[in-house]
Amino acid sequence: MAQLILAPDKERSVFKRHPWLFAGSVAHLVGRARAGDTVEIAAHNGRPLGKAAFSPKSQIRARLWTFDPEETIDDAFFKRRVAAAVARRAALPELAGQEGVRLIHAESDGLPGVIADRYGDTVVVQLTSAGADKWRNAIVGALVKATGCARVYERSDSDVRGLEGLEPVTGWVHGEAGGAPLSIDENGVRLGIDIAGGHKTGFYLDQRDNRLLLRQLAAGKSVLNCFCYTGGFSLQALAGGAESVLSIDSSGRALDQARANLALNPSLPAERAEWLEADVFEALRVFRKEGRQFDLIVLDPPKFAPSAAHADRASRAYKDINLLGFRLLKPGGLLMTYSCSGGIGLELFQKIIAGAALDAGREARIVRRLAGSPDHPVALNFPEGEYLKGLLVQVD
């Protein structure tokens, strides 16, 4: 096994059990290793610190599988880690009965680069690192064993694979497509899932609890759902008794799926739903000119800042969209606003929202801080895992 020697004083992150080692922390490689190979991590004095997946083309040069230098990285290792992740979800009572659940949340479950979401008897796996890609068969086998799922689909087509020197990979890796279209029940609402063509693994399970919160707030309100994707928030608002729900997205395909999802729920009042294909920024500016206002606005935009290097530009985009949101709220209205950008921390996000409210001339207060659902845990040693942050804000 090759050995990755750290530069002097660069072992501190390992002692803190942070799983990433950047290129600047590495002194040299002893022996040969290809992308995804397991290497031993050693301090500058030669002290073994753990074992990691090597990634020569990435700025994250190694991702630690284990902080135990004696632990073997083999098929049995992945069976243990996957089984433990699945068991953690099974122990959470708030996930009982949910047909859509994240089973593996990458570094926060001790499996860097591995995402796995379950939709009924189908699991969708996403492998974003060289190490995860190398151990594909072991990971898939461990998922099948731990869940008893009928099929596993791979959606390893995210942009971050390019940073690892990896090509996109998609398709069935266990079993094959079932006869009926895939759908799940989420808190009483039926949702179709496009695992092959949808975003990420097909859906955003991290917003499950926040969609339920919206349902609890929506009764009698006019709701504006921006960046609505396939209508998860919109349908929960209708289920909660919203007076009207206007949903906007720039993707016609996503809106088609949203309309289809509404049709899957014949008990919901379809006449109260309106779907608009448009650029959200432009649409909100038009609403402002028209003098339209809403009781409750959801702003759940795509990732504006994939890394801290994009934070300045992203901050301007977040401020712009939230400024528009504040200006469209009725007195006493609620703004449910989110960022899924890893490069925007919670403190900065709150400052951006505060600046938007100030520029809009609105007095506002935080009613609740919002985060991902409990099947998206954040390891204490890996704060980068807390990518989704949100605020529920009320205006005067």
The per-residue pLDDT for 307 is 65
Rounded Cα–Cα distance for residues 27 and 267 (Å): 63
pLDDT for 303 equals 84
User: Per DSSP, what are the bridge partners of residue 275?
Assistant: 247
10-34 pLDDT, tens per residue?
A: 999 999 999 999 999 999 999 999 9
Whether the per-residue pLDDT at 309 is higher than 80: the answer is no
Provide CB contacts within 8 A for 27, sequence distance 6+: 5, 6, 7, 8, 10, 44
**Burial readout 2-22 (b: 16 or more C-beta within 10 A, e: otherwise):** eebbbeeebbebbeeebbbbe
Average pLDDT of the residues of the chain? 96
Residue 305 has pLDDT above 70, yes or no: no
CATH 3.30.750.80-classified regions of the chain: 75-174
| Residue 246 contacts residue 262 (beta carbons within 8 Å) | no
SS3 25: helix
> Catalytic site residues?
340
The set of residues, in sequence order, having a beta carbon less than 8 Å from that of 6 and lying 6+ positions away, is 14, 21, 25, 26, 27, 41, 42, 43, 44, 49
* CATH architecture of residue range(s) 204-395: 3-Layer(aba) Sandwich (3.40)
Report the pLDDT value the prediction gives residue 180, as an integer from 0 to 100: 86
Question: What six digits make up the tokens of 219?
Answer: 């009764």
Q: List, as one string, the DSSP characters of 111-129.
A: -TTEEEEEETTEEEEEE-S
Using DSSP's 3-state secondary structure scheme, residue 273 falls into: strand
For residues 371 and 342, the model is more confident at: 371
How, if at all, do strands 273-277 and 244-249 pair? parallel
Q: Considering the domain 3-66, what is its CATH architecture?
A: Roll (2.30)
Placement of tokens 């990979």 in the chain:
169
Q: Where in the chain is the domain with CATH 3.40.50.150?
A: 204-395
Closest CA to 208 of 299, 79, 98: 98
- For residue 296, the cross-strand partners are 223, 334
Evaluate if residue 237 carries a pLDDT over 90: yes
User: What is Dmax (Cα atoms) for the chain?
Assistant: 70
User: 324-368, pLDDT tens digit by residue?
Assistant: 999 999 999 999 999 998 888 899 999 999 999 999 999 999 999
Nearest to 165 by CA among 49, 61, 14, 296: 61
Q: Which residue has the tokens 């290793």?
A: 33
Give pLDDT tens digits for 175-195.
999 888 999 999 999 999 999
306, pLDDT greater than 80? no
Specify the DSSP class assigned to residue 43: -
CATH number among 3.30.750.80, 3.40.50.300, 3.40.1550.10, 1.20.1250.40, domain 75-174: 3.30.750.80
CA distances 243 to 235, 270, 276, 316, Å, are: 12, 11, 17, 32
Range(s) of the chain covered by CATH 2.30.130.10: 3-66
